[in-house]
Structure 1
């Protein structure tokens, strides 16, 4: 059912920034409780304005001229509203104002914003991040088509209600590569990308207000899954005749022992293998996401895996490993997890978590060193991946307990407690 809009024009005066007892005349466009003001060309003495009738007092030639002008403005603004109404049911006061001044603000759309963002923001973002933005843009267009029955959407129509509707749309979405609906954080990531693009529109003066002013992105803190030592060993020992699963397993194991992300592994070449300070083989490369350079030694099964794929027929262009899409890789990892009896949502990024926890921190590698090897810009980012494990707590507390048993407390069994009792008695 078509909703009825409330549209009105009013006139008022403003004495702001004036100390000569004069005021500028303004017109106010009100549409469905939203407003837009436009300054008119007349300035009058304050005592000449009739605030109840919204006109200039008196019958002088000047007063009559101004009042005729106000009626003309009112008539033209109403005409602008009618013309816009005939073109689209979605109108804002800003669109009426823009049409009155002959501006093209009403023509700036989301698709135009997407194109501008992808063209002018590409050099600041990685290829993978640009891909995420394009997915968000695809979902936005699907949302607009479903709820507004349109192929595009004017930027000046963006408001809080649009964002809330898009959030609801995302929470009901079933992406092709997911095994269910989008998670809360998955939906919020798309909302964050829309917010960044909208901020770009605000900065370019394509919209007057940021529609995200009253919207809060709510991210849920989640424990990042990783493999235990036994689960890691189970995958290492997994054997199969299916080549695609062998390749996926090997790539995953390589990441577990290096912490290198999927996109960076796919870009590794022979040139990234160097001789380190210890005379052994190291990886030296740069993170695609942060552009941070990092180096790390190839430990455990990593170098044998590199050599294993040196003459592989699917290895092309000097890459260390065969290329495979992230989507297929994660899909095949589910098969590997099932074959190994691992009841976790095995993804390739879990290898990075496993490196940060099971492979490094659990074995006494300082978090600062782990952060450097992961190519992080700051330690806070590493702490998301690298938690303190129960096994590590148990190990360190057992060591502390042994020190107590070996006489760490000295000859006085009440050491510590005695001084505490003295403090209590004094108080």
Structure 2
């Protein structure tokens, strides 16, 4: 492993390049072994609210606090990528760090591109941390989003920065309209999966706003009926038409008597098969 290089991150407000709204864009100044590069944060600040030495705002107003929070998040994104390269023993330069961060951002500019990347990574966890069934649910959300954008906006994809609370609300209404046989909780879980995928973009600094903050995800209370002992005995005595169905029946009965969730039983079996 290489020796750890000198590394620093400072935020600079470009007060000499004010935008039309009078605000100054903030850049991240990254230095590695004396080599300096600048990264656009896509965050603007009122020049009078910027503390140059502290590299942040006073933090008194809600906007000040929001800017500081976004800068802290962006700092963490840069540090995490630097540490990732370091612990892999790779040579690190400021230019290479910038190239990796900016190219990654370009790849994830659009929603369905981000979804495809997330699903590819998620598929690798099947049998380890998740099940194939859960993986297919993320595929379904991706497919529904593509259908929704084509029907509502006549587009094939959308920039992550263009997604707002109205987009999410319209998507929920679309789900209830085209998939009315399923209830409120089913569609809310689809929105939750959408939020999970979008959160990866926010965690990586590809977007700063959280459009889900204005959308309330709520679940309706449900009451599931359980099988009686007599019903379980009928099931256990039933002859199945194939070995596969017999195995499914045995797993289900085992879950009923042990109170272990069916998904957890499947995960245990998958792990045993791979060992």
Q: TM-score range by the shorter chain?
A: 0.5 to 0.7
Q: Which residue of 2 aligns with 1:112?
A: 113
Q: Select 1:143's aligned residue among 126, 148, 157.
A: 148
Counterpart for residue 194 of structure 1 = 194
Instruction: Label 1:168 to 1:37 Cα distance change in 2 as closer, same or farther (>3 A).
Output: farther
Q: How has the CA–CA distance of structure 1 residues 37 and 120 changed in structure 2, closer, same or farther, with 3 Å as cutoff?
A: farther
Tell me by how many angstroms 1:208 deviates.
Answer: 2.3
| Alignment size in residue pairs | 182
Matches within 5 A, 1:163-312: 163-174=168-179, 181-237=181-237, 239=238, 243=241, 247=246, 249-263=249-263, 286=268
> CA separation of 1:105/1:252 partners in 2, compared to 1, >3 Å: closer, same or farther?
closer
TM-score, length basis structure 1 = 0.36
Larger radius of gyration: 1
Stretches of structure 2 lacking an aligned partner (at least 5 in a row): 1-11, 28-47, 49-104
Residues 107 and 223 (structure 1), Cα distance of their counterparts in 2 relative to 1, 3 Å cut: closer
Q: Say which structure, 1 or 2, has more relative contact order (CA 8 Å, 6+ apart).
A: 2
Say if 1:235 and 1:125 are closer, same or farther in 2 by CA, change over 3 A: closer
Instruction: State the distance in 1 between where 2:129 and 2:167 align.
Output: 26
Q: 2:161 aligns with which of 153, 156, 176?
A: 156
Establish whether residue 27 from structure 1 lines up as the match of residue 23 from structure 2: no
The structural deviation recorded for 1:200 is: 1.2
Shift in CA distance, 146/125, structure 1 to aligned 2, threshold 3 Å: farther
* Structure 2 CA distance for partners of 1:127 and 1:192, relative to 1, 3 Å: same
More helix by share: 2
Q: In structure 2, what is the Cα distance between the partners aligned to 1:107 and 1:258?
A: 44
Q: Secondary structure at the match of 1:226?
A: coil
Match of 1:38 in 2: 25
Whether contact under 8 Å (1:105, 1:156) holds in the other structure is no
- The C-alpha deviation readout for 1:264-318, integer Å capped at 9, x for no partner, is 5557xxxxxxxxxxxxxxxxxx487xx9x9xxxxxxxxxxxxxxxxxxxxxxx89
SS of structure 2 residue aligned to 1:38: strand
- Unpaired stretches in structure 1, ≥5 consecutive residues: 1-16, 31-35, 41-45, 47-103, 175-179, 268-285, 294-316, 319-427
Q: Distance between the aligned counterparts of 2:152 and 2:183, measured in 1?
A: 22
**TM superposition shift of 1:218:** 0.9
User: Given the two structures, how large is their TM-score scaled by the length of structure 2?
Assistant: 0.53
Check 1:251–1:26 CA distance in 2 against 1; reply closer, same or farther (3 A cut). Answer: same
SS of the equivalent of 1:172 reads helix
SS in structure 2 opposite 1:131?
Answer: helix
Give the distance between the partners of 2:200 and 2:264, measured in 1 at CA. Answer: 29
Question: Are the equivalent residues in 2 in contact too, given 1:202–1:210 (CA < 8 A)?
Answer: yes
Deviations 1:68-125 (A, max 9, x none): xxxxxxxxxxxxxxxxxxxxxxxxxxxxxxxxxxxx7697101221133234455484
Q: Contact 1:172–1:182 (CA<8 Å) still a contact in 2? A: no
Taking the aligned partners of 1:144 and 1:213, their CA distance within structure 2 comes to 21
Deviation, structure 1 residue 168: 0.7
Task: Determine if contact 2:110/2:158 at 8 Å carries over to the other structure.
Answer: yes
Assess if the C-alpha contact under 8 Å between 2:108 and 2:201 holds in 1.
no
